[in-house]
Amino acid sequence: MKLEPPSNGETPALDVLVVGAGPAGLTAGMYLARYRRRVRIVHDGSSRTLWVPRSRNVPGFPDGIIGADLIARMSEHAVRYGAEIAEGRVVEIVRRENDGGFRARLEGGATIDARGLILATGVDTNLAKLDSGDHKTAVQSGVLRYCPICDGFEHSEERIAVLGSDLHGAAEAMFLRQYSSDVTLIPKWQVALTDAQRAELEASGVGVLEGRVLRLDAAGTTISVTLEDEAAPRRFDILYPAFGSTPRSELAAMLGPLTDPNGCLPFTAYSDGLLPGVYAAGDVVAGLDQISVATGQGAMAATRLHNWLREQEGHVMADQK
């Protein structure tokens, strides 16, 4: 027996609202549609996968796949089985008092009611600012990179610069050292490393520059970095800014104190849920920010939420509860 929709004359509630149409949200939507749930995926068009020039670590695509093509395929897949996809920015989510479901409000004022929620809202990459050259073009051509795990392999033995000389930058430089013997760590403002950390980098063959960066210029197949007190710019084949990312967890925070000190949602959010009827998946969850991880968590969140809804509907064996 299915729960009755709200009897106040409003549009019947969806079974599930998924916020986010990246790999996590689209996988969750496709699974839920195949569980014959009424599901809508709402997104504001900013999946990070849309930035990926060509990903070569998505299983099943040995020659790589362009990020926008992957999103198009995943969207088609979800829609094929009955998921609705709509563009819009969700600005508020509240729990409905009368039936324990949720109400999302979109920019512009429209509302969506749903019995369950999946938050697959991703993160915002903290970007480097170029003084010349277009940022998007530099990412598409591969001179500006943001994810060593994703594409370090493609830059074996090239001249790699990592921008940001705190521990995060140092760790990223050390990671990239696996791919190239020419890795240089460049401070954004000043080097914030202990002597021991510097010695570790030196022993591993990672160069550390001291001067403050004055300019970043991307042109064609190289990127140049001009440092204070240096007349000529230094040229690199690739620059990885190591500025981290900012989780888009503001909607989750409206439902309760659910984020960790970094603004991430707990790692178990895709399996154990955040609250009854609320799951999260993908980059917004603490852990490894990767397409494969996002799809796996999307599948898990969808299945757990479907089972939770079945339990509400009395469609599980008593021993399963």
Ligand X SMILES: Cc1cc2nc3c(=O)[nH]c(=O)nc-3n(C[C@H](O)[C@H](O)[C@H](O)COP(=O)(O)OP(=O)(O)OC[C@H]3O[C@@H](n4cnc5c(N)ncnc54)[C@H](O)[C@@H]3O)c2cc1C
**What residues numbered 215-274 form the site for ligand X, per CB under 6 A?**
248, 251
Which of 75, 165, 224, 290 forms a contact with ligand X (CB under 6 A)?
290
Which of the stretches 46-54, 129-137, 154-162, 266-274 binds ligand X when contact is defined by CB under 6 A?
Answer: 46-54
Which of 17, 25, 74, 236 forms a contact with ligand X (CB under 6 A)?
25
**What residues numbered 109-128 form the site for ligand X, per CB under 6 A?**
120-122, 125
Which of 35, 146, 179, 279 forms a contact with ligand X (CB under 6 A)?
146
- Rounded CA-CA distance 312/208 in Å is 58
Min separation Cβ 142 and ligand X, Å: 10
**What residues numbered 147-176 form the site for ligand X, per CB under 6 A?**
147, 150-151
Min separation Cβ 44 and ligand X, Å: 4
**What residues numbered 49-88 form the site for ligand X, per CB under 6 A?**
49, 51-52, 55, 57
Instruction: Give the footprint of ligand X on this chain (CB under 6 A).
Output: 19-25, 42-49, 51-52, 55, 57, 89-90, 120-122, 125, 139, 146-147, 150-151, 248, 251, 282-283, 289-292, 294
